[in-house]
Structure 1
């Protein structure tokens, strides 16, 4: 068995295997000639001191053969004539559920309202260049789900919900860089994730599974309290004893369908706010005190994570994208949503992050929204205001950060990565007053915590509102089936049980394993 040690090295030393061997030998007090191999199993950047260092956990093999801590051999098999399981949604939950079902000897049939990765790109180009929204194919809907074109961050705090390493190993198996297995904050990048998603789909199809694009779930076939199948595209019936509902946090038509059929759903608190963009050089200076390019690719552009309590509400950064781009994430005309992503090299000149405030039933009721769809309607209200304030065509209402706090319309706006364009406006007229006031105080607090953060060089755009699902679809803790309908398995972000690529993937796997036990 290898010995696991902790090393703290400069980026230059951490990049060289023989230097790692030397430090390992010194720490274990053995001759360097006795070290057979080393393997980094965890690595993070420590920029708290005057010098950037790499904190590393390393497996050291002393006079013994190397054994890969990340070895992974999936048990994919031909399931052409096996029992079918329907999966609504080809996001991470749906894809991982399909792969797990194949390993368990079931035939997955994925129905996806959107398009495949290649054809989806055309609709994204139309959003960015012409301000046109295709409600079935956009940044939220299509092959790979919302994660495909929104950064590919693989960090999760949901470590008790499943096997995080296994989820990362699947990504590595289908083409991701091996560094995602040991980096503290793994990231694939929006430019590379689509190819990995395609490889997953091709493996599912090669095993006999099906992936049906442009296929929208429009109704459920239910007899008594038991699901018997699904209706897609209005009239086509697909029969199966189990349906994994992995439709994502923006599938409002699914929430409406369940509500209209009398199937229980619940309004859920979420977080709402804005997306802020700074020059990346400013963030680098604040966090690293230097330009990270001097370290090669060992140290990427700086990121940040900020949180405070303002007026009794949590204010926090969300989906921070160093070297990234702000993108339009709307799913229908007349509503404006912004999100962010980064390419694998994170080499764009801007750093953007969501900055959001927790909202709950008291806020929804104040604006006249009650019942199981209250949070969804509240969310829609703010997105519609943002669309109107921006002037249409996905133009985002915006202010300089200092003007936002001072309630002042910006006379000019800084350069911004948001391609549809920005419109100077007063964001206090877009956001609910409690959200606006909490953000204003939060910006000042964060400026005190992080030098240079509160600046007129930063642009604030609205609205960042799809942080999580506004609805929870209840399920039994043991069977994972809906509390009313046997065979219906609410899953991942859209059902309120996940919050990101990896947690969604793990939930998809968990539900698939539960189905396999029946």
Structure 2
């Protein structure tokens, strides 16, 4: 016998297994001493709208019945060592999942990554933080696993049009993620656990005959007429295949420039730019959970999501939170010397003392009249100029320009900055001088509005750290809506965040799977 329950519980009941089982059985009117009873949670979400935080739980109870596995995923990988190859450029979530899907379909992936494997990459991250040295091929954006490896590992997505979210989650669990990601409404893995998971994904690719090439940067394409037959690396090596999935991420500016030089159609794309905001996690908890400065031992570090429409020069633009990291830290995410970019991440336990989030302003192409001369690379050049200005104002290192929130709105340079999670350090500046007027004015409006929505959010006990500029790709590589193939070049499949078709780990992974399916259907299984 199987029973399903919808329960609304206090946090300690939802998160202590013994208490949860007792309450679930009592609700279902099943004796607690009954033999062969199994209770499990299948969905869980936090409701913090009322005075007391509640946990909504969907549960299953099995009596005298063996429960089915929560994990349905059964790999069907084939040995593809001698199979026809496809080339996948970029070993982020899109590239890794494209490679796994190709193996399932009996096709050999050759996965090319400009950066280092996930372990070797750590030394370059340490060099950015401690010595302020940026390796253009190995950093927080480039390297095995892409930008997602050293991140919060958020897996929540609203995108369900291009694949099966549950399937992606189950593949991640099969490679080391906990089953909690199948249960929580807003799952995450954590930056401390992602590297091992990424390694395990790579080992599966290699075990079934795929190839993974690190320190291999694409510098040219092998074009025959309007067909892409492969790529040429920095060493002059040609890597050929039945088609190319281009999954290079939102920061591969050299690839965008290569596409333009080869007269391959690309488009400028709206994106968003702003800053990272850092509060104490205790403050955010007290606002969200209404719990004072101690959320207790059962509730996780609280998150928030904010959005505000703003008007400047008679133009409406959204200001919104992006990649909010509870209990996390801010990291330097530049991909070249002479620029400064920040991003956020958090460990699986989210137990750090700070909360940080991107607060960014939507940037439309009409906002950038001075950059029209760059054509499809207009937004990219604007993005780069802001990052270079931030680097200069921070002190021409990875020290970041920063300012307390109220000081920013009132246009006062902060006499003293707060403690921070950002390891390279902060330099007090007027962030209104770092950011264009149409960005800074909208941020100032939004901070005041956010303070109305979250009492206590607008405070000088928080600070802006800049700049947050890699929210999404400033370039789109257009593709056919049905075939996923580039609109001009045959056998080219633009994929993931860098092509403008995904926004996060799960949506990028789904896009990678679909690109592999479409390429194989069109050119390998004809």
TM-score tier by shorter-chain length is over 0.9
Specify the alignment match of 2:281 in structure 1: 280
Specify the alignment match of 1:252 in structure 2: 253
Segment drifting more, 37-46 vs 458-467: 37-46
Specify the alignment match of 1:67 in structure 2: 68
CA distance in 2, matches of 1:513, 1:17: 41
Deviation at 1:163, TM superposition (A): 0.8
1:408-419 alignment, distance < 5 Å = 408-419=412-423
Q: What do residues 159-203 of structure 1 show as CA deviations (whole Å, max 9, x unaligned)?
A: 232111111111111111110111111111111100110111111
Segment drifting more, 19-28 vs 235-244: 19-28
CA distance in 2, matches of 1:93, 1:391: 36
Specify the alignment match of 1:374 in structure 2: 378
CA distance in 2, matches of 1:104, 1:502: 20
2:368 to 354, 364, 373: 364
The answer to whether the 8 A contact 2:84-2:242 is kept is no
Specify the alignment match of 1:96 in structure 2: 97
Q: 1:292 to 1:342 in 2, by over 3 A?
A: farther
Specify the alignment match of 2:225 in structure 1: 224
Q: 1:253 to 1:277 in 2, by over 3 A?
A: same
Deviation at 1:95, TM superposition (A): 0.5
CA distance in 2, matches of 1:294, 1:310: 33
* SS of match in other structure, 2:75: coil
The answer to whether the 8 A contact 2:140-2:333 is kept is yes
Q: 1:314 to 1:2 in 2, by over 3 A?
A: farther
Specify the alignment match of 1:10 in structure 2: 10
Specify the alignment match of 1:306 in structure 2: 306
Q: TM-score with structure 2 length normalisation?
A: 0.95
Q: 1:7 to 1:34 in 2, by over 3 A?
A: farther
* SS of match in other structure, 2:375: coil
* SS of match in other structure, 1:99: helix
CA distance in 2, matches of 1:332, 1:16: 47
Segment drifting more, 44-53 vs 194-203: 44-53
CA distance in 1, matches of 2:69, 2:296: 27
Q: What do residues 120-154 of structure 1 show as CA deviations (whole Å, max 9, x unaligned)?
A: 11111010001111001000000000011122111
Specify the alignment match of 2:131 in structure 1: 130
Deviation at 1:109, TM superposition (A): 0.6
The answer to whether the 8 A contact 2:102-2:517 is kept is yes
Q: What do residues 81-112 of structure 1 show as CA deviations (whole Å, max 9, x unaligned)?
A: 01111100010111111111111101111110
The answer to whether the 8 A contact 2:286-2:295 is kept is no
CA distance in 2, matches of 1:295, 1:83: 56
RMSD: 1.7
Consecutive unaligned residues of structure 1, counting only runs of 5 or more, are none
Deviation at 1:347, TM superposition (A): 1.4
CA distance in 2, matches of 1:473, 1:203: 29
Deviation at 1:506, TM superposition (A): 0.7
CA distance in 2, matches of 1:151, 1:50: 28
Segment drifting more, 64-73 vs 133-142: 64-73
Specify the alignment match of 2:475 in structure 1: 471
Segment drifting more, 1-10 vs 129-138: 1-10
Q: What do residues 297-317 of structure 1 show as CA deviations (whole Å, max 9, x unaligned)?
A: x42111111111111211100
Residue 447, structure 1, aligned to residue 451, structure 2:
yes
Deviation at 1:472, TM superposition (A): 0.5
Specify the alignment match of 2:333 in structure 1: 329
Deviation at 1:367, TM superposition (A): 5.0
Q: TM-score with structure 1 length normalisation?
A: 0.96
Specify the alignment match of 1:178 in structure 2: 179
For these two proteins, the number of residue pairs brought into alignment is 517
Specify the alignment match of 1:111 in structure 2: 112
* SS of match in other structure, 2:309: strand
Specify the alignment match of 1:503 in structure 2: 507
The answer to whether the 8 A contact 1:292-1:301 is kept is no
* SS of match in other structure, 1:371: helix
The answer to whether the 8 A contact 1:369-1:378 is kept is no
The answer to whether the 8 A contact 2:154-2:505 is kept is yes
The answer to whether the 8 A contact 1:369-1:377 is kept is no
Specify the alignment match of 1:395 in structure 2: 399
Consecutive unaligned residues of structure 2, counting only runs of 5 or more, are none
